[in-house]
Amino acid sequence: MNIRRFCSIVSIALLMCYGGSARGAALPASSEAVTISPHMVIDRVVIKFDDFASVRLRSDRLVSLSDVDLSALNALLHGSTVERLFHRSEAEIDAEHSSLESSMARPLVDKNSYYEVLVTDHRQAEDIVNSLKHLPYIECVYAEPMPEPAQDIPPPTPDFAGDQGYLYDPPEGIGADFCWSIPGGTGTGVRIIDIEGNLNSDHEDFGDNVGSVIAGNPVAATDWINHGTATTGEMCADSNEYGITGIAYGSDIDLISIDGLGTAAAIDVAASLLQAGDIILIELHSPGPRYNFATRPDQMGYVPVEYFQANFDAIQMAAARGIVVVEAGGNGYENLDDPLYESRFDRDVRYSRAIIVGAGAPPNGQFGPDRSRLYFSNYGSRIDLQGWGKSVVTTGYGGLFSGDGDDDQYYTETFGGTSAASPMIAGAAACLQGIYFAEYGFPLSPDAVVGLLTNTGSLQPNPTEWIGPRPNLIAANQFLPPPGITAMPLHIDTWVVGGQSTIVGVLLTNRDYSSPVDFTIEIEDSLEGLASPGWIEVSPMSGTIASGGMQDLLITLSSDILADTTYNYKGMITVDYGTWSPLRIPVFFDVMCNDTDYANVDSDSPPQPDFEWVDITSIGTRLDPDDFHNAAIPTSALDDGTSRKISIGFPFNFYNGVFTSLYAGVNGGLSFVSDEVNIDGYFADIGFPSPGIDALLAAFWEDLSIDSIGAGHGAIYYYNSSGNDSLVIEYHEVGNFHQIADSMITFEVILTSDHTITFQYLEVGSYGLGFSALVGMSRDEGCRFTEYLSSGAPSSNVLHDSLRVDFIPTYEFVMPSGDTDGSGDIDIDDVVYLIGYIFSGGPAPTPLDVGDCECSGEIDIDDIVYLVAYIFLAGPEPCSYTP
């Protein structure tokens, strides 16, 4: 049973799946069948493949560029329509991914790993999700419900601008009219793309700055048209003598429809058309897990669209390009900090960098105190800002003015919901960006925009149900940061061998050509909790950079206090130079292991050891079901359990620990120490150097089972050779927990008296486990490990039928004396053996050193006395020798 990474499976929990990054916490995955509500409106199932599989669509068939066997997947999807989720070319997305990953100095998701399967109803979606969810190369698969708008020429049109209270002075309004008097303050030079369904681009109050639906299929439904028209008017309606005036009427706006694209692809297309500083507005929310993703007329349980991982990844990538993303917080009545959402809206777990918007009460007093949370608005720590959620005067609908039935003259005074609140924030952001660009020639970063608006906004009166402040553009303009400091390189990524240090130079540049900038340095170098602070040093720690000038920083990275490991130590150097937007320089530092205790050779590489299968099913001992246990989950002894202790038959040296027995775990791992070869009773995706199981031999660490009640079958055998010089443990035709048809997995572990470890693979199955298995061994935490295969890397070591891998020790052995008869245990028989040798001409211990228990250099009566004291009187252990 697998402990999956956070991964989205609709109707179980839609657990998070992290890309590149993020990669995150592990949660138990349910083996129960997914049930999808018949009330879910759905047209697609989203699949995210593990990036390492490099899955691509070729001639209507999914293939793996890294040679993962996808035959089972293609068979399951036969007859279905499979399409790439993100519609831009693979090459364009690859180039974007490489560029952004380099500039952000952290892994980002590969959007080319996303696909969609088109469906017509919930039953079809349910079948697909249940068929695919356990395939090892699928990171997540889920059914995404259709999102919805987050909404609550003669005759002469009156001028309603005086009724647009949100345009004017804070705290009642946001102060947009103040910005209009400042160069760029109408949003000049800023482009907005609205993500929803449609609009009436012919409305009388729309000028040349308002475009049309530029991608996706325009949705013909009147509600969608009115909604898009209202959103557009609130931000970009013309400034004239009639109708209304948009918050950022100098900005340009287009709309991308989700119809025919889906939400994630619509965001991705929008981002590809925009520049840093432009804005994406997402005017949607989706049914969430509270009511099993069912579409509801009351919208209860609806959540921001980034709940779904593909949407989150598309938003995060847009923000990485410097685009400001504004996202409706949803009208679901929900606390987004509720455990139901599994920290999906916790910035410390995952953070898209979108500005998420709640709906607050307007100042007219009809819906509660000004800026208080409206009853339907989602709330919680992830909400950044609020806008009016009721009584918004804008274009569309026709309730305020209908121009004798001409929809080109429709106006409303009742636009509401987070759909009305969100364009208020997008408009405010456009005003700020226009001003900043006009002054300095480049835009504010997304983080700077949200920082300005939240730190200067009109506060929420009762923050217990947090929806954030309402923007105050007058105050925000007073705190616009001057052009900041840049760093080259943008991040530090280097390594040393344990015990060494390195110095890296970073060049700071002051982009302000009118005045000098003072700076101070802060260092965070224990972010991972793996080491004490002190491995990063910066010189100088403060200073002044002249206008347009430069400053060299010398960064010293020392490994003296760090353990040699394959962990990537992470730190942060923060350059503070004012109130807003400090410059952060990520530091990635590897202290490389230099473990040469074992060399591994396989039958594929010269000089090849020959594959010589040792079949012990007829001569060995079969472990019975009663021979297995699982302390954490007693009912899963044959699923994720561990065998009783198995005698090796001779002293076996493993990283200079000497062992005479071991335990065999069902999941293809063995341990000389741990009698529970699992993680809290379950299989888990572990890795070296710290797998969580001490003295581990990972021969074929995967989610296996010999439990015939489930998908399991087969058995585990062991055999001690007649000369007590080898132990063979065979996993014979054991089951793949996630694929009952994978019935022939057979491999073995061989320990020999020369302390060599051999893994042999007769059959590795046909569903990709030879790719995804962990193979190697480790003694404990730190660098005492040898890895052969992990997550398909290196590709040359992917397991296949008839493969042999030998792990040969290269270190100098230290062996304990005392086991004079070579039985593997020290007991009274060894005393008798030694007496026979000394006094009766019996056979000599092999080697002789094993009989010199007190290390005098010779074997005599003192060694017998020493051994008796150890066995019966708790005396000191026999000394050790080097063979």
Q: Confidence class of residue 527 from pLDDT cuts 50, 70 and 90?
A: low
| Whether residues 448 and 490 fall in one domain | no
Residue 426 lies inside a defined structural domain of this protein: yes
| Whether residues 505 and 640 fall in one domain | no
State the Cα–Cα distance between residues 763 and 336, nearest whole angstrom.
48
* Residue 594 neighbours by CB distance under 10 Å: 10
Range with lowest mean pLDDT among 4-8, 136-140, 554-558, 649-653: 4-8
Q: Confidence class of residue 532 from pLDDT cuts 50, 70 and 90?
A: low
Give the model confidence (pLDDT) of 611-639 as tens digits: 999 999 999 999 999 999 999 999 999 99
Residue type at position 665 = G
Residue 610 lies inside a defined structural domain of this protein: yes
State the Cα–Cα distance between residues 396 and 283, nearest whole angstrom.
15
State the Cα–Cα distance between residues 610 and 110, nearest whole angstrom.
40
At 594 the pLDDT is 63
SS3 315: helix
- State the pTM of this model: 0.58
| Whether residues 744 and 870 fall in one domain | no
| Whether residues 472 and 490 fall in one domain | no
State the Cα–Cα distance between residues 389 and 152, nearest whole angstrom.
8
Q: Confidence class of residue 95 from pLDDT cuts 50, 70 and 90?
A: confident
| Whether residues 448 and 318 fall in one domain | yes
Residue 646 lies inside a defined structural domain of this protein: yes
Give the model confidence (pLDDT) of 207-256 as tens digits: 999 999 999 999 999 999 999 999 999 999 999 989 999 999 999 999 99
For residues 107 and 875, the model is more confident at 875
Q: Confidence class of residue 7 from pLDDT cuts 50, 70 and 90?
A: very low
Residue 421 lies inside a defined structural domain of this protein: yes
Please identify, among 574, 592, 610, the residue that sits at the C-terminal boundary of a domain.
592
Q: Confidence class of residue 4 from pLDDT cuts 50, 70 and 90?
A: very low
Give the model confidence (pLDDT) of 460-513 as tens digits: 998 889 999 999 999 999 988 777 787 888 788 887 877 788 999 999 888 765
Stated as kind and residue range, the H or E segment containing 75 is helix 71-76
Residue 150 lies inside a defined structural domain of this protein: no
At 522 the pLDDT is 92
Cβ atoms 421, 328 nearer than 8 A: yes
For the chain, how many structural domains are there in total? 5
Mean pLDDT of the chain: 89
Give the model confidence (pLDDT) of 571-623 as tens digits: 889 999 875 568 888 888 877 666 778 999 999 988 789 999 999 999 999 99
**Portion of the chain with pLDDT greater than 90, in percent:** 68
State the Cα–Cα distance between residues 441 and 482, nearest whole angstrom.
12
Q: How far is CA 69 from CA 9, 49, 72, 766, 798, in A?
A: 23, 13, 8, 7, 12
Best CA proximity match to 43, nearest among 295, 394, 223, 323: 295
Whether residue 847 has a cis bond before it, omega within 30° of 0: yes
- In this predicted structure, the answer to whether residue 671 has a pLDDT above a threshold of 90 is yes
Work out the burial of residue 756: count CB atoms within 10 Å of its CB; fewer than 13 is exposed, 13-18 middle, 19 or more buried. Answer: middle
Give the model confidence (pLDDT) of 759-777 as tens digits: 999 999 988 899 889 999 9
| Whether residues 545 and 691 fall in one domain | no
| Whether residues 659 and 804 fall in one domain | yes
Please identify, among 548, 570, 592, the residue that sits at the C-terminal boundary of a domain.
592
Q: Confidence class of residue 3 from pLDDT cuts 50, 70 and 90?
A: very low
Best CA proximity match to 6, nearest among 48, 37, 55, 43: 48
- Structural domain boundaries, residue 803: 598-809
- In this predicted structure, the answer to whether residue 665 has a pLDDT above a threshold of 90 is yes
Give the model confidence (pLDDT) of 839-855 as tens digits: 999 999 988 999 999 98
Tokens representing 171 are 């705290």
Cα-Cα-Cα-Cα dihedral of 245, 247, 251, 255, to 10°? -90
State the Cα–Cα distance between residues 650 and 616, nearest whole angstrom.
19
At 369 the pLDDT is 94
Tokens representing 154 are 């003669």
CATH classification at residue 279? 3.40.50.200
At 212 the pLDDT is 95
At 31 the pLDDT is 55
At 318 the pLDDT is 94
- In this predicted structure, the answer to whether residue 106 has a pLDDT above a threshold of 70 is no
Give the model confidence (pLDDT) of 792-809 as tens digits: 888 889 999 999 999 999
Residue 168 lies inside a defined structural domain of this protein: no
Best CA proximity match to 264, nearest among 142, 428, 401, 98: 142
At 694 the pLDDT is 92
Please identify, among 576, 592, 608, the residue that sits at the C-terminal boundary of a domain.
592
- pLDDT (average), residues 306-329: 95
- In this predicted structure, the answer to whether residue 315 has a pLDDT above a threshold of 80 is yes
| Whether residues 48 and 136 fall in one domain | yes
| Whether residues 490 and 472 fall in one domain | no
- In this predicted structure, the answer to whether residue 400 has a pLDDT above a threshold of 70 is yes
For residues 10 and 840, the model is more confident at 840
Best CA proximity match to 577, nearest among 490, 536, 516: 516
Residue 152 lies inside a defined structural domain of this protein: no
| Whether residues 768 and 829 fall in one domain | no
Q: How far is CA 709 from CA 34, 667, 701, 705, 742, in A?
A: 20, 16, 21, 10, 16
State the Cα–Cα distance between residues 671 and 665, nearest whole angstrom.
8
Work out the burial of residue 60: count CB atoms within 10 Å of its CB; fewer than 13 is exposed, 13-18 middle, 19 or more buried. Answer: exposed
Tokens 């509720």 locate to: 338
Range with lowest mean pLDDT among 22-31, 289-298, 440-449: 22-31
Give the model confidence (pLDDT) of 851-864 as tens digits: 999 989 899 999 99
Tokens 């981002």 locate to: 271
CATH classification at residue 870? 1.10.1330.10
DSSP letters, 108-130, are ---GGGEEEEE-SSHHHHHHHHH
Q: Confidence class of residue 741 from pLDDT cuts 50, 70 and 90?
A: confident
Residue 609 lies inside a defined structural domain of this protein: yes
| Whether residues 259 and 378 fall in one domain | yes
| Whether residues 428 and 524 fall in one domain | no
- In this predicted structure, the answer to whether residue 22 has a pLDDT above a threshold of 60 is no
